[in-house]
Structure 1
Amino acid sequence: MKVAGIVLIVLGVIALIYGGITYTTHKKVIDIGPIQAEKKETHNIPLPPVLGVVAIAGGAALMLIGGKGR
Structure 2
Amino acid sequence: MKILGVVLILAGILGFVFGGFKFKETDKVADIGPVEINKEQTHSFPVTPIASGAILLAGIVLLVVGAKK
TM-score (norm 1): 0.85
| Number of residue pairs aligned between Structure 1 and Structure 2 | 69
Write out the 4+ residue segments of structure 1 that deviate beyond 4 Å after TM superposition: none
Q: Does 1:60 align with 2:60?
A: yes
Tell me the alpha carbon deviations over residues 8-44 of structure 1, each in whole angstroms, 9 at most, x when there is no partner: 1001111111111211111223322211121211111
In 2, the alpha carbon distance for the partners of 1:51 and 1:29 equals 37
TM-score scaled to structure 2, two decimals?
A: 0.86
What is the percentage of aligned positions where both structures have the same residue? 35
Mind listing any 5+ residue stretches in structure 2 that lack a counterpart? none
> CA RMSD of the aligned region, Å?
1.2
1:8 counterpart residue number: 8
| Cross-structure match for 1:34 | 34
- Hey, what does 1:48 align to over in structure 2? 48
Structure 1 portions without partners, runs of 5+: none
Letter in 2 for 1:26: T
